Chains A and B, each alone.
Chain A
Amino acid sequence: MLALPCPHCGTRDEAEFQFGGEPAVRPPSSVSDTVWADYLYMRRNEKGAHRELWCHAGGCGQWFVLTRDTATHAVLP
């Protein structure tokens, strides 16, 4: 039951959002198979401060990056 801050709509209930996981920088297709596989599948999955993508899917539709403490669920500035 998180409350998350949409940059457009303000703080709304978790039920309105869709989780997008850790943001990954898309490499060009010239990279090696290993680098591409890391981009596709490898995530840091940190305990503590965690940057992640969320979409206000049940609201304005905006994707945004949020920093959340994965141990306490606190939304960090």
Chain B
Amino acid sequence: MRLAVGGRIDRGKMLRFTWNGRALSGFAGDTIASALLANDVKIVARSFKYHRPRGLFAAWVDEPNAVVDVRWNGQHDPNARATLVALRDGMVITGVNGFPSVDRDVAASLDLLHRFLPAGFYYKSFMAPSWHYYEPRIRAMAGLGRVGEATETRSFETRNARSDVLVIGAGPAGLAAAKAARATGASVLLVDDRAALGGSLLWDTATIDDVPAHAWATAAIAGVRVLSRTTVFGAYDQGSFALLEDRAEAPEGWAAPRLWVVRAKRVIFATGAIERPLVFPDNDRPGIMAASAVLDYLRQYGVLAGRQVIVATNNDSAYGVAEALRDAGAAVEIADARDDAPAIPGIKVRSATVPLGTGGRGGLAWVDLGPRDGSRRDRVSADLLAVSGGWSPAVHLFSQAGGALQWDADLAAFVPMQAGQLVAGSVTGAADLATCLAQGHAAGLAATDAGDLVGPRTAAASPVRPILPLWGLDLPGTRQWVDYQNDVTAKDVRLAASEGYRSVEHLKRYTTLGMATDQGKTSNVNGLAILADATGQAISEVGTTKFRPPFTPVPLAAIAGLRHGALFAPLRHLPVHDDHLALGAEMRDYGGWARPACYRGIGETTEAAIKREAANARFRVGLFDGSSLGKIEVYGPDAAAFLNLMYYNEVANLRPGRLRYCLLLRETGVVFDDGVVGRLAADRYLLSPSSSHTAGVLAMLELWHQTEYPTMQVAFHDVTAAWATFAISGPKSRDVVAGLGSGADLSDQALPHMAMTENFIGSVPCRIARVSFTGERSYEVSVPSGYAQSLWQHLLDLGAAAGIMPYGIESLSVLRAEKGYILIGTDTDGMTLPVDLGLEGPLRAKKIDFVGKRSLLTPDATRADRRQLVGLLPADPETVPVPGSHAVLREGGASRSLGWITTACRSPVLQRSVALGMIESGRARMGEEISLFHLGKLSRARIVAPCFYDPAGEKLHG
């Protein structure tokens, strides 16, 4: 119920929402959880395995139960953690993992089968006929929220921050640390996962430096950079930390969370502690909550979680909670497991008493209280049982950052071993304000190695009575929960121990303890303490499971940030992109460039367009945009010598104005790229790598120059984007190029195949290279990119009378296949050597140690039965074989692969199907018929030379 006063909510701003279709309301400042509790909602979820009803247990990141589905303003979070999401007006909230609803779940009958669903039941019970039969049915029942259909549209951004000191946690210790570090002049970043800084100071009645605690908290952060509602979820390399800033409260409304990467010289862990549940029979009933959470709901949200309250504890911390509940008007009784409990005014206190059982339908109605051996029980009516099993320091980030832990038997907790790391507050096990402030102050000074400053002053703490560790009750036949969400009981832990699981890591994986969305924040220590007891080990011997990021769930979208879609892999555009579109081009992604596949006419099929474009480029004249082809200029007195070391082919003897088709190899001898190398002058080359390899080729040249040949005088410059290149191909291409009036001598004597010339079209510099990817007479005309559009239009105009048509990549693919021109990465793979392509000349002729040479001399590289590039003519000329089809040989009753098809198409000029492939000993098999295998079907093909059209090259040379 909501109290009339108290809490940090704004009672003037009512927020309406629905819970499972029921209209409810809360106030600004509520979380979903506090609003549900204020409306006396008892069941918020169903457990993962048994579908047991579960209520709110905690108030913050440690909440194990309350995962809900939230829709608001077009946004949908199917796995929202109710304690962490701020309530907003109009939210539609539903429970998950319950059908038809969490209130009335038909699968709850699963709970009756619990005897048959012990720990590890997956591995035992569902094996006949096979796990795959049961898996979909079990998964359907064990799900959390359902993923929505909508695509995430919010923008996830990443930010970086630096500071001298990073303080994690803004409770008393963190504030004192930040204040002290700032006072020494250091830059300080203080991060806290809640909206308001101060932790317990927000409601503490103590005074610090003679002012109220909350006022001191406000003043402490002067000059400190603060990130609130921000969770440090991971400690990473070199002292970097990853943070997630919750921006649900952003002015624009439920903005996407923001990822921060923070680097700081020193970090102070003031991460607090998490209260543990008590382990006793039927301790998972809705209405049983952590005592600290009950106080949190009361102080932060003005919500009284129950009117008739039993506070069950084994330590002193819950006494303050009992007093606060009494003061808020509840009837309160304390059950202290320890002897000699003190008398508290207005509260009945029982010593040596623990809860032995609970009951009630849809919530809590009574609690059985008695001694730990269960020898007596006293049934007491209650609508709320607030429990405290002690505190577990939140050592997650400290441990992630490499900090070691030790078991402190007096505190019954794993605490940080402080060796060079700075830790302050309740994460050290400190339990009172004065100690937390002193520790924080000392850590703040230590972080900057600065001198002495006076720390905050507050009243000394009263002595604390020691905790009585309680790790479950020895009461056979009872169900005592350890992990609420994943339904792991003390009995499951003991069963695992009896089956030989002594390691806590194995226990975790076998029972799923600590593997739910809360990542075991409440269950970890109870579980391993029970394991220690069951296996006869000390708790320190058992240890904890390894703490790994993230501390709380992080959306993958937040980690991806802006690196998705077009921002992840931006598609490069050609200089005349729009002109292609105007001509009806179908643009596709080819190696990171948007390039025309083909230019379909109205009503024309892709196949017909390819056929038309290819024929036009063969028999009349075609126009192709080759601007994406790489252009790397190489300068310097050692350019020729250096490139000769890089390329497989001889390039040093190339005369200025001449071009050569060359291969680049990896040092392993594998073909990395092919392209045309042109020499512009004695000390100047122009390389044309494949469109998608330009960056890789440039990187390779830089690597070899810098690491192997640093004294050579040579420099590289990628000018791909600076020049536009258009190829004019076909018998009439020279006439079209002549029309440009560049002044270049286009005669075959002056400009034969594989020659180039630098000229001007008007005042615009141009390069004309006679190079062909089609097998026809072809000219590549390049101009600075700014002139691309005028040149493109000019060429279309000049060629109009000759019947010029643009052709796209798909048409080019057919034209090059007919000629047997390979495509690196299509016809070659990570094993292809130049000799496999029939290019053996340079290996014999070149004496220097070019890249990859030695690898071509190994026994494997010189095997006679290597796969070699061949042409294949299918026996059925109408069938185009599928690339990837294997050539199979039947030998001694078994089939084996001889290789595979790499390229196949229907050739318009030959009017039949043709293919290229890599076939074992291919060159020795010329004329042989072989079998092709694809998807269970066999067909026949004949091995021929890898060139189907104009093998003498008469068209090429004119």
By a beta-carbon cutoff of 8 Å, the part of chain A in contact with chain B is 1-3, 13, 18, 20, 23, 26-29, 31, 33, 36-37, 40, 53, 55, 57, 61-63, 72-75
Contacts and interface: CB of A to CB of B under 8 A. Distances in A.
Given A29-B849, A29-B853, A62 B706 contact: yes
B652 interface: no
Given A1-B237, A3-B263, A62-B706, A29 B857 contact: yes
B242 A1 contact: yes
12 contacts: A18-B699, A20-B703, A27-B854, A40-B667, A55-B699, A55-B702, A55-B703, A57-B699, A61-B702, A63-B706, A72-B402, A73-B238
Contacts of A73: 237-238
Q: Which of B699, B706, B853, B854 has the most CB of A within 10 A?
A: B854
Interface in B645-682: 667-668
Contacts of B236: 1
Interface in B694-744: 699, 702-703, 706-708
Contacts of B402: 72
A36 B859 CA distance: 12
B404 interface: no
B238 A31 contact: no
A3 B859 CA distance: 44
Given A23-B707, A26-B708, A33-B859, A2 B854 contact: no
Given A26-B708, A63-B703, 5 more contacts: A1-B240, A36-B854, A37-B858, A53-B707, A63-B702
Contact of B237 (A2, A40, A63): A2
A75 B236 CA distance: 14
Contacts of B708: 26
Contacts of A3: 238, 240, 263
B858 A33 contact: yes
B18 interface: no
A59 to B, nearest CB: 13
B347 interface: no
Nearest to B668: A40
A-B pairs, 6 with minimum CB distance: A29-B854, A73-B237, A1-B240, A63-B706, A1-B236, A29-B849
Interface of B is mostly: mixed
Contact of B707 (A29, A31, A63): A63
Contacts of B858: 33, 36-37
Given A23-B707, A26-B708, A73-B238, A1 B261 contact: yes
B855 interface: yes
B707 A74 contact: no
A63 B707 CA distance: 7
A53 B679 CA distance: 32
A40 B855 contact: yes
B718 to A, nearest CB: 11
A55 B699 CA distance: 10
A31 B160 CA distance: 50
A46 B797 CA distance: 65
A54 B127 CA distance: 51
Contact of A2 (B160, B238, B242, B859): B238
Nearest to B847: A29
Interface in B296-316: none
A44 to B, nearest CB: 18
Contacts of B237: 1-2, 73
A31 B854 contact: yes
A37 to B, nearest CB: 8
Contacts of A55: 699, 702-703
A47 B238 CA distance: 17
Contacts of A62: 706
Contacts of B263: 3
B958 to A, nearest CB: 41
Interface string B235-265: 0111010100000000000000000010100
Interface string B210-252: 0000000000000000000000000011101010000000000
Contacts of A72: 402
A23 B708 CA distance: 11
A74 B239 CA distance: 10
Nearest to A31: B854
A55 B855 CA distance: 25
Contacts of B706: 62-63
Interface in B109-150: none
A15 to B, nearest CB: 10
Contacts of A1: 236-238, 240, 242, 261
A1 B559 CA distance: 13
A13 B240 CA distance: 11
A57 B699 CA distance: 8
A57 B236 CA distance: 23
A12 B488 CA distance: 46
Contacts of B703: 20, 55, 63
A50 B160 CA distance: 28
Interface in B806-862: 849, 853-855, 857-859
A33 B242 CA distance: 48
Contacts of B238: 1-3, 73-75
Contacts of A74: 238
B240 A36 contact: no
Contacts of B160: 13
Nearest to B706: A63
Nearest to B241: A1
B212 to A, nearest CB: 41
Contacts of A23: 707
Nearest to A35: B854
Contacts of A40: 667-668, 855
A52 to B, nearest CB: 12
Nearest to B669: A40
Contacts of B707: 23, 53, 63
A62 B705 CA distance: 11
A33 B703 CA distance: 24
Nearest to B695: A57
A23 B858 CA distance: 23
A5 B64 CA distance: 43
Contacts of A37: 858
A61 B707 CA distance: 12
Contacts of B261: 1
Contacts of A75: 238
A3 B706 CA distance: 22
Nearest to A53: B707
A50 to B, nearest CB: 14
Interface string B74-89: 0000000000000000
A3 B668 CA distance: 32
A73 to B, nearest CB: 4
A29 B849 CA distance: 6
Nearest to B699: A57
A35 B343 CA distance: 84
A6 B853 CA distance: 32
Given A1-B240, A1-B261, A36-B858, A28 B849 contact: yes
A21 to B, nearest CB: 11
A13 B402 CA distance: 22
A44 B12 CA distance: 68
A18 B855 CA distance: 25
A11 to B, nearest CB: 10
Contacts of A28: 849
Nearest to A65: B707
Nearest to A4: B238
A29 B669 CA distance: 13
A16 B238 CA distance: 16
Nearest to A75: B238
A60 to B, nearest CB: 11
Interface in B863-902: none
Nearest to B860: A33
A40 B851 CA distance: 12
A36 B855 contact: yes
A20 B237 CA distance: 20
A33 B858 CA distance: 6
A28 B708 CA distance: 12
A3 B242 CA distance: 14
